[in-house]
Structure 1
Amino acid sequence: MNCSEKIVRYLSAAGIERVYGYPGDPSVPFLEACRRENMEFVLATREGTAGFMAEAYGQITGRPGVCLSTLGPGSSSMVNAVATAHLDRVPMIAISGQIDTARLPYFTHQVLDHTQLFAPITKWTASIAPKSLDTIMRKALRTAVAERPGPVHLSTPADLVGADAGEGEVQLPPLAAAQEMVAAFAVEGAPDLNAAMRAARRPIILVGMAALRAPGAGAAITRLAERLGCPVVSSPMAKGVFDETHPLFAGTLDMACNGLMWDFMNSADRIINIGFDGVELIKPWSPQAPVLHIDATPNTDQIYLADIELVGPIAQVIEGLVDTLPGSATWSEAEIAAHRKALRAAYQDGRVAGRLNPSDLVDVVGAALPDACITSDVGSHKLLVGQGWVARSARSVLMTNGLSSMGYSLPAAIAAKQILPERDVVCFTGDGGFAMVQGELRLAATLKAGVVVVVFCDNSLNRIELKQQARQLPSFGTRIEATDVPRAAESMGCEGVRVDTIAELEKVLANRRGDATVPLVIAAHIDPAQYAAQF
């Protein structure tokens, strides 16, 4: 067994079904190992999009997504996707080819120092070594999934990737989340937990993305909210952990209607942060209410001060609380319903009658495909998707809100459709982000990944253009030349259509068969005036 075969066997043993990548010379033994070991290899159009596909794989499955690049420019091209997984807390194993070890100390052509390149954006980076490959692979897998999860980078020198690795048995480390051990911490002078909760009359639960990784967290959070009779707010990447059709759901933080949501958070007299990771915050933390921190990791970021911390498996911590906490909240159903109504009205602010507005795309797609898994790119549209899309289940809304990297949503949607072939998958993207990665439509068509791609077409980098307008500056360097998106899509084996009205969009979606295997690209030409009113 050579090193590549052993690496692939470790990946297979960990339940990983495919590798996304763009190979080079040092990758040849690895590709052959994938072929021999029946590991699917998905050839992306570039290393960066392969990394985004691997991130989406990790977001949906909880297992490390694996991406591959060659040496030199291949490894540097993969940096953005690895950094995205790092700040989005997604398990990943990124593998890069490298020049042979004999020349590595002095050769310069296509040689980059992978340790210096990847150390700041990974949990661990290492080069493989035949005699210690078992240890390296166990550490890579364990490190990637351990709280907080993130990427690991492995270099595979050309003279080692095919070297003999022996016939040692593949033995995995523990990869599942911990199921017990709870620790409690409190600042000096803090009340005990029961006293703190008895004193709370206006508690709010804030659910964060770490709850996605906690088995049973959604059901436990629902029990807690119903026991306390208090509203639940979600972070963007945690959408769906708490069913957003539930009457206690009160909106998404730091998306559209931002001021209204922060005013609501500031009305609390106790905030219960469950798995909330400050990496998602766009605005600084402003509430003055004391915070109860519940997470698998201590509150070491200190983005907010928590007077009480309960650290351990999230669902078990909550279940241990539910039957002992008093239901002392004074929130009424009518009050929470009124907030939801105000939030909905604020979400629709700025709509132009008779035009196709950005929020219309979210609402029409949501009505036509309510159970879809969606991916969202970065830009003004993401803020409306984050607030307006009604998520009913965990891991059904995929976005990057840690690094917030444009170009994410299309490759993520392709990976999602591979993992969830029976489910509708919708990609929401701006025309700027779409232009960065539109070549992957060819891959989507080849894979028969029948995703629906909704492109918000306004020929603008709107988030930046709005900031120029706020400073009374003209648009400069933020306008995008118009592209015939349907023709571009059709040239790559997809179905393409342009819509300019709500009725046209509704008709296109009504005619879409649920078992379609040809990707559908909808160029939705929107009136961006709503963005100005919203942001």
Structure 2
Amino acid sequence: MGGPTTSRALADALAEGLRDAGAERIFGVPGGGPNLDMIGAAAERGIDFVLTHGETAACIAASTYGRLTGTPGVAVVTRGPGLTSAANGLAQATLDRAPLLLISDTVTAASADRTAHQRLDQVGAATPLTKWSGTLGHTDPKDVVTAAARLALEAPAGAVHLAFDPTTPGDAPPAPSPRSTVDPQDLATARKLVTASRHPVVIVGVDAVREGAALREALAGLDCPVLVTYEAKGVVPESWPTFAGLFTGAALERPLLERADLVLGVGLDPVEPMPGPWPGDAAVVLVHTHPVETGYFGDPLLLVGPYATLLPALVGAAAPEWPSGAGSTANAATLHRLGEHPATPNGALTPLDVVRTARGSLGDALLTVDAGAHMLVTMPVWATNGPDPVLISNGLATMGFALPAAIGAALARPGRRVACLTGDGGLGMAMAEIETLARLALDVTVVVFNDAALTLIALKQRAAQGGAPAITYRATDFAAVAVAMGVRGVVVDDIDGLRRALASSARGPLVVDARIDPASYRHVIRTIRG
């Protein structure tokens, strides 16, 4: 049976498949020709297009939008450099478990024998970065698009790539994975472990985010400490007396885990913790919606199934004997240790000052955080009661994430302020997207921890590893850059100045260039990572 063999006809089928899959927006950087056909066909079907300055930024914004809305995040790029520039965005979506469908133009099969310009094996290039990479051709394209979008959303969510080529039949995405059923004997064994435990600790991970309501309902009556990973921060309200802080796979939570006789991991993904040995000798039970690697966690018992079924069965068997408020006590001790750094000279602004002041001024805003030293302060100190998670790249841990993620978040949550906390290095990688904030008039407050250095790398640097030239930049006036791009920009160097900058009731984009003293970071990294 024949199918669409022209660019516009295939674009129409693509747009219909996206509409049927629930896609709401497309992000990207078009390269002409087929890309513009895709954008035009989608617009005719009510799917908006958001122009970004970079392909990786488009992917990050799209996958963030998809994560928050429960829809497939969609990005469109051109062939050659468009696809290769999107590589980091594909990896981010896959390792951070965010749904992304990337459609790239490509040199068609019909012209490949005479066209070398921008000719790459784009399907092969994207394969190791995605859940699946294939060609969208003229055989059942609408169904292929719908199946590809479904695959991106299927747990674990991640990136899927389609190369757009109307001259070839194309490929079919793999069928959905069969749903796993829980072995009754494994469930009985897990219940016995939970029943016997007197000091259980719950660790909530990224896979539980999409079923946050069921998770909160199950854990609300369980009186034992609850830790969250970076990507699950916000799923458990931090106002709960059981909230115990972050699980990082490092020193931060070790005192609590050493007291535990059972660890119940809910949605805990091995992509999340710091590499290193699993702490403690407690028995481990993992609950997950899909099969997951377990080697990091020692010799755990893995139960695969829906949280709404498994968690009540396990929690109902628990009889913890922790002192009342053990979770909040542990979290308070962590925050106290972080705050014990030496005072800075002349009242200089510290990273802890920035986080506390921003949280106090902006309230429980939807938060995006970049990779870098500032992240180590932000994640434990910024309190949130959700239900949206804090948005951070943890599985890939890429710089340049926070600003594109803030764009996706602001579009996904209109009416809610977004706080974007980033270092100067990370903002430098995505700085052009400040113009996107201005053009879309998004309610995003960007706070830059500006010390003109890759400070987290500097803390790891040793003798004979390049010295200052390897980790320092010239000072950049990010406020001036923002103003040049049409966004309000303010430079601050003390708490009062920061508070005034953030106190404005005016909504819309704002860039606050916070000139910080990085000296306290060394204390922070010792406290968190040991």
Structure 2 length normalisation: TM-score?
Answer: 0.91
Residues 1:209 and 2:206 are matched in the alignment: yes
| Counterpart position of 1:18 | 25
Cα pair 2:199 2:224 within 8 Å, conserved? yes
Give the Cα separation in 1 of the matches to 2:151 and 2:487.
Answer: 39
Cα pair 1:487 1:496 within 8 Å, conserved? yes
Query: In the alignment, which of 57, 60, 79 is matched to residue 65 of structure 2?
Result: 57
Cα pair 1:5 1:37 within 8 Å, conserved? no
- Would the alpha carbon gap of residues 42 and 89 (structure 1) be closer, same or farther in structure 2, given more than 3 Å must change? same
| Counterpart position of 2:522 | 532
Residues 1:276 and 2:268 are matched in the alignment: yes
Residues 1:521 and 2:490 are matched in the alignment: no
Cα deviation per residue 1:76-128 (whole Å; 9 max; x = unaligned)? 00011001101011111001001122122563210110121011111111111
Give the Cα separation in 2 of the matches to 1:143 and 1:413.
Answer: 25
Give the Cα separation in 2 of the matches to 1:445 and 1:13.
Answer: 31
Give the Cα separation in 2 of the matches to 1:435 and 1:56.
Answer: 20
The one-letter code of the counterpart of 2:444 is V
Question: Superposed, which structure 2 residues align to 1:50-199 within 5 Å?
Answer: 50-105=58-113, 107-157=115-165, 182-184=181-183, 192-199=189-196
Deviation, 1:471, is 8.1
Question: Superposed, which structure 2 residues align to 1:336-485 within 5 Å?
Answer: 336-350=327-341, 352-353=343-344, 354-469=347-462, 474-485=467-478
Cα deviation per residue 1:141-165 (whole Å; 9 max; x = unaligned)? 221111211111000127579x9xx
Give the Cα separation in 2 of the matches to 1:265 and 1:186.
Answer: 27
- Would the alpha carbon gap of residues 242 and 351 (structure 1) be closer, same or farther in structure 2, given more than 3 Å must change? farther
The one-letter code of the counterpart of 1:364 is T
Gaps of 5+ in 2: 526-530
The one-letter code of the counterpart of 1:98 is T
| Counterpart position of 1:267 | 259
Deviation, 1:531, is 0.5
The one-letter code of the counterpart of 2:72 is P
Cα deviation per residue 1:247-273 (whole Å; 9 max; x = unaligned)? 111111228xx4231232222110000
Query: In the alignment, which of 298, 302, 305 is matched to residue 291 of structure 2?
Result: 298
Give the Cα separation in 2 of the matches to 1:522 and 1:401.
Answer: 24
Deviation, 1:361, is 1.4
Cα pair 1:290 1:305 within 8 Å, conserved? no
Deviation, 1:299, is 3.9
| Counterpart position of 1:240 | 234
| Counterpart position of 1:332 | 323
| Counterpart position of 2:224 | 230
- Would the alpha carbon gap of residues 473 and 350 (structure 1) be closer, same or farther in structure 2, given more than 3 Å must change? farther
Deviation, 1:24, is 1.0
Gaps of 5+ in 1: 164-172
Give the Cα separation in 1 of the matches to 2:309 and 2:217.
Answer: 8
- Would the alpha carbon gap of residues 213 and 288 (structure 1) be closer, same or farther in structure 2, given more than 3 Å must change? same
Query: In the alignment, which of 243, 246, 250 is matched to residue 249 of structure 1?
Result: 243
- Would the alpha carbon gap of residues 202 and 345 (structure 1) be closer, same or farther in structure 2, given more than 3 Å must change? same
Deviation, 1:184, is 3.2
- Would the alpha carbon gap of residues 181 and 73 (structure 1) be closer, same or farther in structure 2, given more than 3 Å must change? closer
Cα pair 2:134 2:161 within 8 Å, conserved? yes
Give the Cα separation in 1 of the matches to 2:30 and 2:483.
Answer: 27
Give the Cα separation in 2 of the matches to 1:307 and 1:301.
Answer: 7
Structure 1 length normalisation: TM-score?
Answer: 0.90
| Counterpart position of 2:504 | 511
Identity value in percent: 33
Give the Cα separation in 2 of the matches to 1:373 and 1:174.
Answer: 35
Q: Which moved more, 1:199-208 or 1:131-140?
A: 131-140
Cα deviation per residue 1:342-362 (whole Å; 9 max; x = unaligned)? 111112232525221101111
Cα pair 1:204 1:272 within 8 Å, conserved? yes
Cα pair 2:209 2:389 within 8 Å, conserved? no
Cα pair 2:450 2:515 within 8 Å, conserved? yes
Cα pair 1:372 1:426 within 8 Å, conserved? yes
Give the Cα separation in 2 of the matches to 1:347 and 1:389.
Answer: 13
Cα deviation per residue 1:1-44 (whole Å; 9 max; x = unaligned)? 82211211221222221100001133121122123223211110
When the two structures are aligned, how many residues end up with a matched partner?
511
C-alpha RMSD of matched pairs (Å)? 2.5
Give the Cα separation in 1 of the matches to 2:36 and 2:331.
Answer: 55
Give the Cα separation in 2 of the matches to 1:503 and 1:393.
Answer: 28
Give the Cα separation in 2 of the matches to 1:425 and 1:399.
Answer: 13
The one-letter code of the counterpart of 2:243 is F
Give the Cα separation in 1 of the matches to 2:260 and 2:464.
Answer: 34
